[in-house]
């Protein structure tokens, strides 16, 4: 499997962020072709030192890296990417793409 992990830094207004994320972004992102599983963090995101600075972690699973590339290139992927700029503009997100295996 391959995974897209998105870290959303703590927004100015968490309630506004959450409303947009859960009501608009998730339905948009769930339309992305090739998406096998979509998970989000619940409650706070911690770190061993305490506050992590991250508000929400999204984990999207695909069959492989080629499927992620195809997802980004699709109309649905472009719509979801454009939406991120609405509720998390600028450098308020970090995205990581990788093949994943159990050890």
Q: Is residue 25 a contact partner of residue 87, using CB atoms and an 8 Å limit?
A: yes
Spell out the residues 6+ positions from residue 19 whose beta carbon is closer than 8 angstroms to its own. Answer: none
96 binds its own copies per the rule CB under 8 A: yes
97 binds its own copies per the rule CB under 8 A: yes
Q: Rounded CA gap, 79 and 26, in Å?
A: 12
Query: Going residue by residue from 18 to 57, which x/- string records binding to its own copies, judged by CB under 8 A?
Result: --------x---x------xxxxxxxxxxxx---x-x--x
Least distance (Å) between residue 20 CB and its own copies: 14
Report the residue number, 75 or 98, with the smaller CB distance to its own copies. Answer: 98
């Amino acid at each position: 499997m391959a995974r897209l992990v998105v870290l959303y830094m703590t927004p100015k207004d968490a309630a506004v962020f959450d409303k947009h994320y859960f009501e608009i972004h998730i339905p948009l992102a769930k339309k992305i072709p090739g998406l096998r599983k979509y998970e989000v963090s619940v409650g706070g995101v911690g770190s061993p030192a305490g506050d992590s600075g991250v508000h929400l972690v999204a984990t999207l699973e695909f069959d492989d890296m080629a499927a992620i590339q195809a997802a980004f290139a699709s109309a649905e992927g472009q719509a979801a990417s454009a939406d991120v700029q609405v509720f998390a503009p600028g450098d308020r997100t970090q995205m990581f793409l990788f093949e994943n295996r159990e050890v």
